A = this chain, B = another copy of it.
Amino acid sequence: MPASSVPDTSIDLLLVDDHPMIVEGIRQMLLPETDLRVVAQANSGKQALELLATHPGLDVVLLDLSMPGMSGVELACAIRDNWPAIRVLALSMFHDHATVAEVLEAGGAGYVLKTASRAELSLAIRQVAAGRTYFSQDVADTLLQNRQITSSLEAADQPAITRREREILQLIAREHSNLEIAEALFISERTVETHRRNLLAKTKCKSMVGLIQYAIRHNLLS
């Protein structure tokens, strides 16, 4: 029913997830929905970009957020910048507000949890394809709990973690002390402290307890 620019009324999808099992599961879940066509699937952000270049007719990209290498959020930004007409639907295990906010800032049109049923998933795809948005119930609750409209505007700048910071974060996660990290990287302990401080600021965490959770959810550890 919804008017679109593609010749037929079907919705063409690209699936992106590093787990073959999940890609396969989604594909098969959507098979009975005759108006939803999975025309391509990728196991990494890099591969997804290649497929986007060779598949001009895509309507919706369904992408996992936590992937090694290029994260789902980065991929979403790339899609927003290079193929603004394509709708992005995020798929994730988690629904902390930091992650949800990042997806919104990256231009995501919807956010579905991996616990979603077939019915919910296909509904979400049709909604975003029709130009609307869709959020799983738990995700919507997260958004309502923290009415931080500020974070979607102000904090939209750059929680970009640098290579060095990430390196230090990984050593922290392995329970190394500042001194140990300093000796391992041949830098001053003060420098490690500074990196630590910058990490906390960028992730808006109060301590390592929050930072580690951020790191795991964003797949920043090995």
* Chain A residues packing against B (C-beta within 8 Å): 18-29, 114-118, 121, 172-173, 175, 205-210, 212-213, 216
Q: In the assembled complex, which residues on chain B have CB atoms less than 8 Å from the CB atom of A26?
A: 21, 25
A143 to chain B, nearest CB (A): 17
| Between-chain CB contacts (< 8 Å), 20 pairs | A18-B115, A19-B114, A20-B29, A21-B22, A21-B26, A21-B116, A22-B25, A22-B114, A23-B25, A24-B25, A24-B28, A24-B118, A25-B28, A27-B28, A175-B205, A175-B209, A209-B209, A212-B212, A212-B213, A216-B216
Q: In the assembled complex, which residues on chain B have CB atoms less than 8 Å from the CB atom of A25?
A: 21-26, 28
Is B205 a contact of A118 with CB atoms below 8 Å? no
Q: In the assembled complex, which residues on chain B have CB atoms less than 8 Å from the CB atom of A20?
A: 29, 115-118
CA distance A114 to B210 in the complex (A): 26
- Name the CB-closest residue of B to A28: B28
Q: In the assembled complex, which residues on chain B have CB atoms less than 8 Å from the CB atom of A213?
A: 173, 212, 216
Contact with A212, one of B116, B121, B209 (Cβ below 8 angstroms): B209
Q: In the assembled complex, which residues on chain B have CB atoms less than 8 Å from the CB atom of A29?
A: 20-21, 24
